[in-house]
A = this chain, B = another copy of it.
Amino acid sequence: MRALLVVAHGSRRSVSNDEVRQLTNELRVAAGQEFAKVECAFLELAEPSIPDGISCCVSEGATEVVILPYFLSAGRHVAKDIPEIVASARDEHPGVTLRIAPYLGQAKALVASMLELSAK
Contacts and interface: CB of A to CB of B under 8 A. Distances in A.
A34 B114 contact: no
Contacts of A13: 75-76
A25 to B, nearest CB: 10
A27 B114 contact: yes
B73 A16 contact: yes
Contacts of A111: 23, 26-27, 30
* Chain A residues touching B, range: 35 or more
Contact of A106 (B4, B8, B11, B117): B117
B68 A118 contact: yes
Q: Which of A4, A31, A114, A115 has the most CB of B within 10 A?
A: A114
Contact of A118 (B20, B26, B101): B101
Contacts of A116: 107-109
Contact of A107 (B16, B75, B101, B114): B114
